Amino acid sequence: MVRIKKGPSKTVSIEDVARLAGVSITTVSRVINKLPSVKEKNRLKVQDAIKQLKFQPSVFAQRLATGRSNVVMLVVPRYEGIFYSFYALELIRGIGTLCDSLKLDLLFHLTDARASLNFRGTNGVIFADIIGNRAQLEEALAQGLACVVINNYVEDLEVDCVAVDNIKGAESAVNYLISLGHKKIAHISGDLVTQAAAHRLEGYRRSLKKNNIPVNDGYIFKTDYSRGQARAAAEKLITMPDPPSAVFVASDSMALEVMTVLREQGKQVPRDLSIVGFDDNPSGLYGPVALTTVRQPLIKMAEEGVKRLSALMEPKKKPKIEKTLLATELVIRESCQPLA
Amino acid sequence: MVRIKKGPSKTVSIEDVARLAGVSITTVSRVINKLPSVKEKNRLKVQDAIKQLKFQPSVFAQRLATGRSNVVMLVVPRYEGIFYSFYALELIRGIGTLCDSLKLDLLFHLTDARASLNFRGTNGVIFADIIGNRAQLEEALAQGLACVVINNYVEDLEVDCVAVDNIKGAESAVNYLISLGHKKIAHISGDLVTQAAAHRLEGYRRSLKKNNIPVNDGYIFKTDYSRGQARAAAEKLITMPDPPSAVFVASDSMALEVMTVLREQGKQVPRDLSIVGFDDNPSGLYGPVALTTVRQPLIKMAEEGVKRLSALMEPKKKPKIEKTLLATELVIRESCQPLA
DNA sequence: CTGAAAGCGCTAACAA
DNA sequence: TTGTTAGCGCTTTCAG
């Protein structure tokens, strides 16, 4: 057989190691993969050679040969709003950190909803919310890939998901306001294309209904989560003929904007308006009046998602589908007061 | 020759496409790689087969065969502050978007500064700032990897970098304040472990010196970029015996906090204090007084970085090292006024 | 313009 | 315990 080695190949391969160590490449492979069946003496020789040559196995060759890999793809819908939210960073942070410690390669994919993704070479996919990109999820599922959806409770698909219980969270906020004697409670909602916003609105409605308070659609302000629209909503709200005495806002950053508007207008929080936010964004702590809010466990959601995915990626087992709903927690601070 | 096909292999390979199209795998490969030398008729047949079979080439096989790949690793130092900044998200967004359109795979690596990174299978590395993780950069460089550093002008290393001209940016802010007649100008700096914060402080100093205004260290407040510390600084600042008439703040989010504090204390911006921020964070637009600030082109920085890296990753060429400094732009709004 | 065949670097039976 | 060998799926000469 003719060896056609062309020039000094830069990359040292398993073969070079084998030659230097005086063993077969198989033995080297065994050492790399920590298989027990290698004589101590040989193992040392090989490890020595590896060190000398600074050999690092080619992941591509490994993956080609084994067919497996531990590449996790994080699919983030390219939705403007998602990137102006406190939550995106927290999620990325949580996912990034855990992948790092689990030795998973994180492929980050900021995607157009209609683009068709190439999952080849990926073993698991985490969808950070589903906003108009359900088709991509279905595609991944159809390919038999391990999938986990985060921040969106997907009921009608056989897929694992871990989300926050936005409905109950919103209910707890509104219940609290009601317990303080408020009846005229407004809601500034987020972008209703997101499930989170829709559920928070739903929770708001439910709480009112359960407490026999009629839902006044004039008290519901729809926004895109931006501070600008929150401001507009706040301005409308305070100039209403019959203004609400309390408001539940779908995000802390919007709630803070509402507080700002109030202050500008010479009004006081919570004297003139009780406010509850959603997120537990640290920014809520700083203003003159600390924000009462609904804490959502973002980091935990991210971690749960990754853990779940890595379980699904385990070659042998085929765990049951699990749909997790994480509880929120009402954090009472200073932005609400009982109705006089 | 005996074919040892074991069971119905799930993955459709180039071979299946070739068979269905009635051509050789070589021809299929040519079509995939858009080589011109394929008869139109065959090209169509192949493309048809690809569509029918939903064939997607294995990236691993491709990489193994060609030796090249387009995996870009984004290294983000696991520094708390970085994740509470406006800038991190913008950067990630810019990088993610461009990688997507350049068909680069983005490997996201949130890393501990002291961890040794595994670059196997990676062809290029983007360092999003260098905060205590220079060793990792040097390691990547030593391995001959294409590297680009973003948001940090690295002078003493042979590496491409693209950063914002923080010194000039800060100078422009302070010059502006001086042009309005201010002489008692304070600075609330960011976390000085970051080059950006250090440079902004430097720019502040330079501007004062160039204008023959003595630097008063009592006017310099060091923070970790958090709103909490900005608040503390602002409170100290306004109660000084000889308070400044203007302040240059190292980030918009801190500047907004300063404005809030002023308002709480019954003071007015810009009447009682002129304020310039840094970032051009959209939040700065909403308050009662729009924030004057130094706009830094974050998305552009991200894009330049990725473009640069993809040039460096080009197999043939070996471009010269380039160190880019992006200009900032002073955006004058309402938070400053001439000294009476 | 097309196809056969030799790798790319590694793993995994199967023998020894 | 070790080595031989046949692929993994694709690209790339090199002949036609």
Give the pLDDT score at B4: 32
Which span out of A58-62, B7-11, B43-47, B189-193 was modeled with the highest average pLDDT? B189-193
Residue B59 has pLDDT above 90, yes or no: no
pLDDT at B114: 75
* Model pLDDT, residue B10: 61
Of A60-64, A127-131, B170-174, the poorest mean pLDDT is in A60-64
Q: What is the mean pLDDT of residues A57-65?
A: 85
Which residues does chain A have within 8 Å of residue B96's beta carbon, measured at their own beta carbons?
Answer: 76, 108-110
Q: Are residues A175 and A292 in the same domain?
A: yes
**E strand intervals along A267-333:** 274-279, 292-295, 323-326, 329-331
Q: What is the mean pLDDT of chain A?
A: 88
Count how many pairs of residues, chain A against chain B, have C-beta atoms within 8 Å: 112
Least confident of A80-89, A138-147, A329-338, B135-144: A80-89
pLDDT reported for residue A3: 27
Q: Tell me the two tokens of residue A197.
A: 């916003």
Say yes or no for a CB contact (<8 Å) between A227 and B286: yes
Q: Which of residues 75-104 of B touch strand C (CB under 7 A)?
A: none
**What is the three-state SS of A192-230?**
CCCHHHHHHHHHHHHHHHHCCCCCCHHHEEECCCCHHHH
Does residue B257 share a domain with residue B173?
yes
Is A300 touching B (CB cutoff 8 A)? Answer: no
Nearest chain A residue to B66 by CA: give it: A60
SS3 assignment, position B74: strand
Mean pLDDT, residues A144-165: 94
Is the predicted pLDDT of residue A113 greater than 80, yes or no? no
What would the pLDDT profile of A233-244 be if each residue is shown by its tens digit?
999 999 999 999
Same domain (yes/no): A170, A286: yes
Lowest mean pLDDT among A172-181, A275-284, B179-188: A275-284
Q: Which amino acid is at B9?
A: S
Measure the CA angle with vertex A165, ends A272 and B84; round to 5°. 70
Domain assignment present for residue B65? The answer is: no
**Is residue A266 included in any domain, yes or no?**
yes
Question: Is B1 within the bounds of a domain?
Answer: no
pLDDT digits (tens, 9 = 90+) for B272-296: 999 999 999 888 887 778 999 999 9
pLDDT band at A66 (very low <50, low <70, confident <90, very high): confident
B163-192 residues touching A, CB cutoff 8 A? none
One domain for residues A127 and A194: no
Highest mean pLDDT among A240-244, A262-266, B18-22, B284-288: A240-244
When pLDDT is cut at 50, 70 and 90, the band that residue B122 belongs to is: confident
- A174 vs B109, residue with greater confidence: A174
Largest Cα–Cα distance in chain B?
94
Kindly report the backbone phi and psi dihedral angles of residue B274, in degrees, each rounded to the nearest multiple of 5, phi listed first: -90, 140
Among A258, A274, A296, the domain boundary falls at A296
Identify the helix (H) or strand (E) that includes residue B48: helix B40-53
- Using a CB-CB distance cutoff of 8 angstroms, which residues of chain B are in contact with residue A88? 89
Q: What is the dihedral of CA B199, B204, B205, B210, to 10 degrees?
A: 120
Whether residues A176 and A246 share a domain: the answer is yes
Percent of chain A having pLDDT more than 90? 51
Judgement on whether residues B120 and B220 belong to the same structural domain of the protein = no
Cβ–Cβ gap A283/B227 under 8 Å: yes
Do both B222 and B182 map to the same domain?
yes
More confident residue, B80 or B20: B20
- pLDDT for B195: 96
Distance, in Å, from the CA atom of B188 to the CA atom of B205, rounded to the nearest integer, reads: 12
A256 and A175 within one domain: yes
Protein-contacted positions of strand D (CB under 7 Å): 1-13
Say if residue A207 is in the same domain as residue A280.
yes
User: Given CB atoms, is A121 within the 8 Å cutoff of chain B?
Assistant: yes
B245-277: per-residue pLDDT in tens? 999 999 998 999 999 899 888 899 999 999 999
Structure confidence at residue A5 as a pLDDT band (50, 70, 90): very low
Amino acid B9: pLDDT: 40
- Nearest nt to the CA of A1 via C1' is C6
Check whether residue A59 has its CB closer than 7 Å to nucleic acid strand C: no
| Strand D contact at CB of residue B265, distance < 7 A | no
CATH code, domain with B140: 3.40.50.2300
Q: What is the pLDDT of residue A2?
A: 25
Q: Is A302 found in the same domain as A158?
A: yes
Average pLDDT over residues B137-162: 92
Q: B334 lies in a domain?
A: no
pLDDT of B215 over the 90 cut: yes
Is B280 within 8 Å of B332 (Cβ atoms)? no
Q: What integer is the mean pLDDT of A99-122? A: 81
Pick the residue with more confidence: B165 or A109?
B165
Q: Which domain holds residue B82?
A: 71-164+298-326
Specify if A183 maps to a domain: yes
- Is pLDDT at B3 greater than 70 in this prediction? no
A162 φ/ψ angles, rounded to the nearest 5 degrees: -135, 120
Task: Yes or no: say if A145 and A122 are a contact pair by the CB < 8 Å rule.
Answer: yes
% of chain A with per-residue pLDDT over 70: 94
User: What was the pLDDT predicted at A162?
Assistant: 97
Q: Of A218, A216, A286, which Cα lies nearest the Cα of A255? A: A286
Instruction: Return the amino acid letter for B24.
Output: S
Q: Give, in Å, how far the C1' of C12 lies from the CA of A15.
A: 17
Whether residue B300 is predicted with pLDDT greater than 70 in this model: the reply is yes
The domain total for chain A is: 3
Interface probe with A: pick from B82, B105, B235, B299, most Cβ of A within 10 Å: B105
B42 touches strand C (CB under 7 A): yes
pLDDT, chain B, mean = 88
A14 touches strand C (CB under 7 A): yes
Q: What is the pLDDT of residue B83?
A: 64
* Rounded alpha-carbon distances, angstroms, from residue B48 to B19, B32, B169: 12, 12, 55
Crossing angle between the packed helical segments B86-102 and A86-102, to the nearest 10 degrees: 70
Q: Is residue A333 assigned to a domain?
A: no
What global pTM score does this model have?
0.85
Read off the pLDDT band of A10 (50, 70, 90): low
Considering the domain architecture, whether residues A47 and A79 belong to the same structural domain is answered as: no
Q: How confident is residue B316, by pLDDT bands cut at 50, 70 and 90?
A: low
Please check whether residues A170 and A123 belong to one and the same domain: no
A260 touches chain B (CB under 8 A): yes
From A41-55, A165-179, B2-16, the region with the lowest mean pLDDT: B2-16
For residues A261 and A287, is the Cβ–Cβ distance under 8 A? no
Tell me: pLDDT of B6 over 70: no
CATH code for position B41: 1.10.260.40
Q: Could you tell me how many residues make up chain A?
A: 340
> In Å, how far is B296's CA from the nearest CA of chain A?
17
Residue B141 domain-assigned (yes or no): yes
Pick from B28-37, B225-234, B300-309: least confident: B28-37
The reply to whether B282 falls in a domain is: yes
Q: Is the separation of the CB atoms in B45 and B86 below 8 Å?
A: no
CB-nearest to B89 from A11, A59, A89 is: A89
Run of H or E including A221 = strand A220-222
| A107 reaches B (C-beta below 8 A) | yes
| Closest Cα in chain B, distance from residue A213 (Å) | 33
CA(B4)–C1'(D8) in Å? 13
Segment A156-198, tens digit of pLDDT = 999 999 999 999 999 999 999 999 999 999 999 999 999 999 9
Q: Is the peptide bond before A270 cis (omega within 30 degrees of 0)?
A: yes
Q: Is A271 on the interface with B (CB under 8 A)?
A: no
pLDDT digits (tens, 9 = 90+) for B86-103: 788 888 889 988 888 887
pLDDT of residue B103: 79
